[in-house]
Amino acid sequence: MIKKNINTNQKSFFFEDNSNKSLQQTNKSKLMITEDRVYLLFFVFFCLISIFTIKILLLSLGKINYEKNSIYLNSKFEIFRNDIVDINGIPLARNTEVFHAAIKPNLIKNKKNFLLKIQLLYPNKNIKKLNQNLKKNKYFYFKKNITKEEQFKLWSLGEKGILFEKTQTRIYPHKNLFSHVIGQVDEDNNGVSGIEKSFNDHLKFNKKSLVTTLDANIQFLIREELINFQKIFNSIGSASILMDVNNGDVLSLVSLPDFDINKRQTIDDLNYINRATKGVYELGSVFKTFTLAGGLNEGVIETDSEFNDLPKKITCAGKSIGEYDNKIPNNLSAEEILIRSGNIGSVRIAQKIGEVKMRNFLEEIGIINKIKFDIEEVGQPLPTKWGKCKLATASFGHGITTTLLQLAKGYSIISNGGYDIQPTLIKKVDQTINQKNKILKNGISNKINSILRKIVTQKEGTANFANIYGYEVGGKTGTAQKIINGTYSKKKINTFVAVFPTSKPKYILIVLLDEPKPNKDYIYHYKDGSGLKLKGTPYNTAGWTSVEVAGKIIEKIGPILAINKIDFYGNHVVKKTN
């Protein structure tokens, strides 16, 4: 480069060094490359963090993907067994998705570390046995029927050797509530008892839920009252049936004690018997209604037929038959015999009917032969060898047995106009009373229902505590000595059969208490509007135990059943409007 000197005319020459400039450019270029790499690495790390974050969110919010370390059976959830529901569609039995946790030992690298993890997760697990299974090096089940939450915990251990099999299990949302009715299934989803067994094919192959006649709300209320009074009267067990008298629909069937059917336990204790269908009992004076109905139906008596000079005691085959209450008058009409629950009067009515006709009548209304029902757990009444003495004792429910279910059938026929019905737990279509076989003559039911109402309303009756305002309750009590080891004991079976409303019967409610005891502290409230109270149970009879329970039950379930309100005197209550 040539520069001109301003001060002189001399010209000078010099060369400019460009090496530093080239070095700076090279360094700048390297710096730019390094920054690009940093940005690229940052971007890669950011992407990885984002992916992991999204993955964690998906795991926590959605379904976990176990495909890489799981075995799935039946990946699409198609139920093996359909629901059982109550009359309102409330599920009583349902299949739900569960998992079996299995272990494949050859996929576990560090077995010692694996056992430590399991011990932390399951402190009560038998680690010694688990270790033995691992040493066998064969596929085995670690735990069956685990929930999704438990499955996630096991999956979180990070062991490839833990595999999951998707399957189903049967659950019963109401636990104890329907234990004696619904029944159970085995591990292969086959019914082994109750409705589950009787309708096994329907539940497995029919695509629709099995609709029962049962009402879960009513069942709950009745069971609560039975549990409450089982404590009050210290009974060893109890049972109740609520049934529609016109079509045989069983709305509630309870037997105590009960059990949680989800636990699938084997119960050998006979006290857990289904007292409503399986238990066979002598039920006492509730049979007197059948005796009177039989006499009326055969035309050998009328409700006003007089029976005079009735003795307090008679003998048959050397054994005495007496009245439970010596205050019962010697002269009674047929109607009064039932109202006062007279033993001797009932014997006299039965004698007019005769052995053959009495037996045939009881057979027709379904009392003495085994009944067909929707579950297999049904009792067989003991065979009866008929004769003069058997006729006499059977007239007041002594020496003759039946089940509570058959008692409900018999009272339904007597109160519904005399039409045969078949008790059922399964809702059926087209149930019209006109298609049924008529057993009683016209007018018999009206006469009986009127008398049953008087048993509840009149002072001479034995069921005053069932006179619940608004529901026109009628009924009959039965107090019987319990047979233990073939002999009569002092222990009792107390029963009450309620029919309501008696002007147009719709429901039968039966309450049975097994070995109740008097309660000296219980407060009774009289139902005659007087407001009187009584402390303590004076007599261990059905009138003071089973009737009280039935009254409380009707108070609770009446509003659900929507019975027309009827006052103490049988008049329909009409709501006043402005």
Q: What is the Cα 125 distance to its own chain's centre?
A: 33
**Residue pair 313/322 in contact by the 8 Å Cβ criterion:** yes
pLDDT of residue 50: 73
The confidence score (pLDDT) of residue 577 equals 35
Q: For the ranges 29-33, 376-380, 513-517, which has the lowest average pLDDT?
A: 29-33
Q: How far is it, in rounded angstroms, from Cα 506 to Cα 249?
A: 11
**Does 10 score more than 50 pLDDT?**
no
- The residue with greater pLDDT, 26 or 463, is 463
Higher-confidence residue: 51 or 525? Answer: 525
Q: pLDDT over 90 for what percent of the chain?
A: 66
Q: Dump pLDDT digits (tens) for 333-342.
A: 999 999 999 9
Q: What is the pLDDT of residues 200-240, one digit of tens each?
A: 999 999 889 999 999 999 999 999 999 999 999 999 999 99
Instruction: Band the pLDDT of 432: cuts 50, 70, 90.
Output: low
Residue 38: Cβ within 10 Å count: 9
- pLDDT at position 578: 36
- CA gap 362, 353 in Å, rounded: 12
Rounded distance, CA 467 to CA 453, Å? Answer: 9
Q: What is the pLDDT of residue 26?
A: 53
* Residue-wise DSSP of 165-206: EEEEEEE-TTTTTTTTTT--B-TTS-B-SHHHHHTHHHHHH-
Mean pLDDT of 467-480: 96
As given in the structure block, the two tokens for residue 37 are 């790499």
Mean pLDDT value across residues 48-76? 54
The pLDDT value recorded for residue 430 is 62
Kindly report the average pLDDT of the chain as a whole number: 87
SS3 per-residue string spanning 196-243? HHHCHHHHHHCCCCEEECCCHHHHHHHHHHHHHHHHHCCCCEEEEEEE
In one-letter notation, the amino acid at residue 360 is: N
Q: How confident is the model at residue 28 (pLDDT cuts 50, 70, 90)?
A: low
**CATH superfamily name and code, 84-211:** Penicillin-binding protein 2a (Domain 2) (3.90.1310.10)
More confident residue, 265 or 309: 309
Q: Is the pLDDT of residue 33 over 70?
A: no
pLDDT value for 68: 43
Query: What is the C-alpha to C-alpha distance for residues 269 and 275, in angstroms, rounded to an integer?
Result: 13
Give the residue carrying structure tokens 């809702």.
427
Instruction: Check the CA dihedral 554-556-562-565 and report its sign.
Output: positive
Domain boundaries, the chain: 84-211, 219-561
**What's the rounded Cα separation, in Å, for the pair 245 and 414?**
9
Q: Kindly state the average pLDDT of the residues 324-332.
A: 91
Mean pLDDT confidence for 533-538: 96
Whether residue 530 has pLDDT greater than 80: yes
Residue 56 has pLDDT above 70, yes or no: no
79: pLDDT strictly greater than 80? no
pLDDT digits (tens, 9 = 90+) for 436-449: 799 999 999 999 99
CATH T-level fold of 219-561:
Beta-lactamase (3.40.710)
Instruction: Give the per-residue pLDDT at 564.
Output: 47
Question: What length is written for the chain?
Answer: 578
Least confident piece of the model among 20-29, 282-291, 401-410, 533-542: 20-29
Amino acid 98: pLDDT: 83
Q: How far is CA 551 from CA 47, 266, 573, in A?
A: 73, 35, 19
pTM across the whole model: 0.80
The answer to whether 184 and 193 are in contact (CB under 8 A) is yes
Contact predicate 225/552, CB 8 Å: yes
